[in-house]
Structure 1
Amino acid sequence: MISAASRPYIDASVPVLREHGLAITSLFYKNMLGEHPELTRLFNMGNQARGAQQQSLASAVFAYAANIGTPEALGPVVKRIVHKHVSVGIRAEHYPIVGRHLLASISATLGEAATPPLLDAWAEAYNSLAKLLIAAEAEMYSTAGIEPGATRPMRVTEVKRESDNVLSIRFVADDSQPLPTFQAGQYVSIAVDLPGGRHQLRQYSLSDAFGKESMRISVKREDAIDTTPAGEVSNWIHANVEAGSVLRVTHPFGEFTPDTESAETIVLLSAGVGITPMVSALNRIALVNPQRRVIFAHAARDARHHPLQADVAAAQAVMPNLQVVTFYEEANGEADVLAGRMEVARLPEWERDVAEVWVCGPLKFMQAQWLALLDAGVPPTRLHREVFGPELLDHLL
């Protein structure tokens, strides 16, 4: 990926990035978005306000440096980035802007330690990665048959309350074209215009199976908590979207795609709104192979915060080998519910080295389940995870 001459400088950067990565990326976003405010439409400004995006980029840069000699470790991360980029319409011309500000932020943060050879090495490494991403994104745009940033009008046919803070929104194409194909676990971006002329995109997992005459997303309302601001787009959707509304929706993307067509046992573990891609997978399996063994476990605060229960119940009615396990942190004597947080030891047994395990939910949930599954003997090659929001890539660090 980079020359032998540059490799020592990248290797030497690893401890420096561990210490100063967040300062570098915070300065990077501040300067880049200050000079190019038009790019704010491509970023989740709520994550920016919380500092989550800065921390995610810092961990990504560190992971890139730490694993630059092991492309097999970086491959899945690069694939995930490509899907995220095409979902918001990243173009080739954005990369020089990012590179210039990233190198300037490294230089400003490290001061005299940012020697010309070090900056040259990072310029080479960045350009190498940029070429890889640009090529992969161009191919994905071409395969999907779309231009970067393209959206389609979709007409809302139903809005259904799933829980205290989750709405399901079902829509159909509002043009003459058929609905796009997609795989369970993929997401679409919803484009909204907010007060003040601001334009934002947010990704939401498709929460029903492919093969129906409509598509569905399930949107959690993100409320303000302490210093964390409320989610602008999720609150706008909850307040404004109704049957008959027209949404601008991108083509489906995403690499977190459970194999719904196999006959092997599959394990689907989720928490919170992470249940949405899992229900998409479950509903697809119910359509194509209802005899398949599926372990479906979900963790929620309580029954009022447990969305898509009707979908799971409908799957249970037609899937004799579906095993459902529900965990509530605040259990109130509900039947068939385990009190407390999800624990691997309380799940049904399965062949650890055969079944694929898919996990989706908040970051702390993901970290806990990842370690617990490894301790339980699940090979890392059988583990797959999807974090809603910026990821810290802690499994690579």
Structure 2
Amino acid sequence: MTYEQKLSIKETVPFLREHGTQLTGYFYERMFSHNPELKNIFNMGNQANGKQKNALASTVLAYAEHIETPEVLTEVLKSIGNKHVSLNIAPEQYDIVGYHLLSSIKEVLKEKATSSIIEAWAQAYHELAAIMISIEEKMFQKNAEKKGGWKGWRTFVIANIVEESNTVKSFYLVPKDGGAIAEYLPGQYISVKMFVPSLGHEQPRQYSLSSTYMPSHYRISVKKEKGNAKTPDGLVSNCLHEKKIGDEVLVSVPAGSFFANILPEDSLVLISGGVGLTPLMSILETCKALNNKNKVIWIHGCKNEELHAFKSKVANLEHNNDWLTSFVFYEDGLTENSSVKKGRVDLSVLKDKILINKAKYYICGPEPFIKVHYHSLITFGASKESIFYEEFGPQLLQIKE
């Protein structure tokens, strides 16, 4: 990009700060109207609740604000790239998105969309698309070269279903072709795609792998999301909970930038909220499989005991392994003891237990949960380099000091 083009991009920053979601909301409406086939790729639940337009608005704004130093967005772009790879996004789809984005800028900004601004954004998008396509092609190639790896969608069969709580079921998935399946790092996810009758088309969703790697199957543990006045029922989770053993789903190769590289000398502190415990369960089971005897402290929060998935599995692991200590916070708790607390997760109660020299901290849950506990750890003296987090949904949370 030229210096003048970068200045033109920066001219749009005030508008994007104030009206970014208006622009991205218009963009999605326009794109789905002209290219309805893309509804098979995009999460229509996040379209309905507004999360996707908010996430895209944040991304566009961040790119505009850092147009002179885009390298600071590398980790965010890699995270997006992982999502795109898991959804089998093709280079030609960047052309479709670019066309509708530029058209939306023209139509929303109207007379403010001067030729210089449109030309600058066209060049900016072209450069960003080239970066993303390059990142994703390397990921595709790496995944395809893995033993048991593949590109695109592969048919898996539901071999077993286990109820983990009143709202969470584990699904054991085996490849229909009987071939090998790719390894993954604890904390990563797969995408699952299925036909949703209420929509009349397919929908993909990302679900964390909830066990240590097993060469015979993948395990995902899915909460049946019930809606309320503001949000609808989870489209895919509800369909998945209706599936039976023997039913088929489409699955993409494991992906994700949130994972634990578990070393023998590492102490781990796992902090989860609700169904955010699923990738941390994979980390915990991997610690057991490695037999490293890592010191692990797991702090989990949920509404009540009936909604506490994997409760008995974790209790059994703790009983048989002195390297594991777990604590749970129940919002509707009736009694307390040394390991069970009433209310929401409060790390200050356990400060002396979790401040471990050279510990690594893994947080998973909704955005407010992550922010609260990230800042608590920083306040306690943990370094930001030792804290890793995963936000379920459009993962564009950028915590600032």
TM over 0.5: yes
Q: CA deviation at 1:80?
A: 0.4
Moved more, 85-94 or 115-124: 115-124
Counterpart of 1:314 in structure 2 is: 316
**In structure 1, how many angstroms separate the alpha carbons of the residues matched to 2:74 and 2:369?**
24
Q: Secondary structure at the match of 2:13?
A: helix
Counterpart of 2:362 in structure 1 is: 358
**In structure 2, how many angstroms separate the alpha carbons of the residues matched to 1:65 and 1:373?**
31
Counterpart of 1:129 in structure 2 is: 128
Q: CA deviation at 1:353?
A: 7.0
Q: Secondary structure at the match of 1:5?
A: helix
Q: 1:252 corresponds to which letter in structure 2?
A: P
**In structure 2, how many angstroms separate the alpha carbons of the residues matched to 1:115 and 1:352?**
56
2:376 alignment partner, one of 365, 372, 389: 372
| Alignment partner of 1:234 is 2:233 | no
Q: Secondary structure at the match of 1:84?
A: helix
Q: CA deviation at 1:290?
A: 4.4
**In structure 1, how many angstroms separate the alpha carbons of the residues matched to 2:264 and 2:109?**
51
| Alignment partner of 1:384 is 2:388 | yes
Counterpart of 1:61 in structure 2 is: 60
State the Cα RMSD in Å.
Answer: 2.1
Counterpart of 2:173 in structure 1 is: 171
Q: 2:162 corresponds to which letter in structure 1?
A: K
Which digits, 9 at most, give the CA deviation of each residue in 1:74-99, with x for residues without a partner?
Answer: 11101100000011110000111111
Q: 1:218 corresponds to which letter in structure 2?
A: S
Q: 2:388 corresponds to which letter in structure 1?
A: H
Q: CA deviation at 1:352?
A: 6.5
Q: CA deviation at 1:320?
A: 1.3
**In structure 1, how many angstroms separate the alpha carbons of the residues matched to 2:165 and 2:301?**
14
Q: Contact 2:335 / 2:341 at 8 angstroms: preserved in 1?
A: no
2:278 alignment partner, one of 271, 276, 279: 276
Where do 5+ consecutive residues of structure 1 fail to align? none
Counterparts of residues 200-239 of structure 1 (less than 5 Å): 200-211=203-214, 213-239=216-242
Q: CA deviation at 1:148?
A: 9.0
**In structure 1, how many angstroms separate the alpha carbons of the residues matched to 2:66 and 2:400?**
8
| Alignment partner of 1:346 is 2:349 | yes
Q: 2:289 corresponds to which letter in structure 1?
A: L
TM-score (norm 1): 0.94
1:333 alignment partner, one of 332, 335, 351: 335
Q: Across the two proteins, how many residue pairs are aligned to each other?
A: 395
**In structure 1, how many angstroms separate the alpha carbons of the residues matched to 2:44 and 2:186?**
27
Which digits, 9 at most, give the CA deviation of each residue in 1:305-352, with x for residues without a partner?
Answer: 111123312331343122212111111215431111112212244456
TM-score (norm 2): 0.93
Q: Contact 2:300 / 2:327 at 8 angstroms: preserved in 1?
A: yes
Q: Contact 1:166 / 1:218 at 8 angstroms: preserved in 2?
A: yes
1:162 alignment partner, one of 139, 150, 164: 164
Q: Contact 1:261 / 1:289 at 8 angstroms: preserved in 2?
A: no
Aligned CA distance change for structure 1 residues 375 and 8 (closer, same or farther; 3 Å): farther
Aligned CA distance change for structure 1 residues 24 and 45 (closer, same or farther; 3 Å): same
Percent identity reads 37
**In structure 2, how many angstroms separate the alpha carbons of the residues matched to 1:47 and 1:74?**
23
Counterparts of residues 233-312 of structure 1 (less than 5 Å): 233-239=236-242, 241-312=243-314
Q: 1:333 corresponds to which letter in structure 2?
A: T
Q: Secondary structure at the match of 1:123?
A: helix
Where do 5+ consecutive residues of structure 2 fail to align? none
Which portions of structure 1, spanning 4 or more consecutive aligned residues, are displaced by more than 6 angstroms?
A: 146-149
